[in-house]
Structure 1
């Protein structure tokens, strides 16, 4: 939502280096928690050269006072409405330290992203149809940080227009969940039938387990996989997290129903909950095969700033490091688990990942699920 009178240049450091001698009036940097140290380093370098810097995104929104130490201004939360105000203040030499919306952004007013500014070639297109999540899970930054719990949807016509402008056939819907409003999603899928796209989307297992029409339309629209946050095989854990959509006893039947419509399942599990013991790793990997999950995703519980989980573990003196670069969900344990050591959590997660990613793990999935091989090869050829 940058006014047209301003010239915009986007630099993705993963693709090309940053020119710290560029002729910029303002540098805006967005980051998530593990990127924060590098974002602060970049910001400091530009400020040393007299360039104004604005920080925003997940981490600065959670810790604005920390971010302000490295920036002239911090945008807290969604930026579509505050960004034009910030630019106006900059021109008038009245830049404020913090910019924050008092209410969620109306998604009818946001503009289609200017993808031509990113440069390079993306193999997968990224689309967002909605923001906010009413779940409020303890560990999740979606509802507890930048977007909040108020669920909002973009007009379907705007989404379809954006989809038509995306050259890539492969898409990823990065909504927190594309099943929060099934009526909206069904209409979107009906409109997508003629677009010849293939996509992956996040979904809640309770809706997918009972809505055959949604699954049918998803398949017709080009859905290859549903990414489902199963989180844990312990109902006690699920209940404490507040994830009301998940009933462990229904996992198997729900996954079978999704498979019946020719759609695969990415099943995401998190290790390190207070109820988890060292037995959780072997039990979860074995259940992955029994549940016929196509692609298991294992991560380590990570208490991101701004979440209730971070606040609780900090109160309990269980945060082991504030080196944000280690908050990666894989490869590091940044808190003290309750029923195992940090090394047991790290090693157990790594072992589970190796198991399901191995040739033997692949073969086990074909043994437990006789349709696994055909379903996934078919998806690749579609």
Structure 2
């Protein structure tokens, strides 16, 4: 079977809830993937930053295979020998006292929202079921009904109401707007330190710090969604580290498993996560021995291979080189570390055609919000590989 055969089968039998590039990937190794026709591509998306460690990292693969031969799932009805070690190692690496593992990023966000509301009623004393959570415009925290209830993207919400109440949306990047929106019923402010899906939107310097200070002053929790920005992607372990911010609650996922298995987690103090009682929240697969073993190996790779440091160094170089391309289509380059957005001018004809042209020349990137090409290769990428890609990127960005 060739690429066209697979695409025809997928389009016939699968729901059309994505608009993928027409490449059918068969295998991956490091920063490279190969399609069913044998063509090689540089992966510049990393499964939306889930594969920071590179495709099929041998150490994570070995951990997964070893654990899979023993026991994969116990449910949380019983204890297992991997979860306690995952808790400990995650705490030591991140500085948070406790964690609660889930599967998808959206599940972890929902968990954080529930935790903030529980804290609001049991600790802050907000009247029951009147808690409010402030979010930023352009946000992307997942696609559950509660999460799309505070999205500002019509495609995510128009046909899916009625919506969950209890959320306020303010302009992203405007700390004054956050502070003005806080009321006695405000439980939390939840933000992405950099908005990935919105087009790699980097807020003004000092924004996160000012928001965190406003939260502290008003007895409000600050929740940082670092699902896409965390675990080294931006050149710091967490994007919040650029401003020295330690959120009350942090949500992580994606690269927490290196792409092998859905693993996410909510990080917080013992005072906060200690509010959950047995039966109030859970997940059959969250914290499974397989998930914990994979995540432990994924964290070890980030630390031992200094992927955060490499992201900072290679990201700076990559952005500098992109900024030197004299493309008539490019409005600006923005990002941090290896989370980079090439913002195109409105008259450029959209980012999709550039991504399709890159695909034809052996580079896989993806458009976001129509006018932004996102470059986010695995954090193991080196200078030689970037130098290999730059002439092609230049050629595509210079096309009519």
| TM-score under structure 2 length normalisation | 0.27
Which of structures 1 and 2 has the larger relative contact order (alpha carbons within 8 angstroms, sep 6+)? 2
User: As a proportion of its length, which structure holds more helix?
Assistant: 1
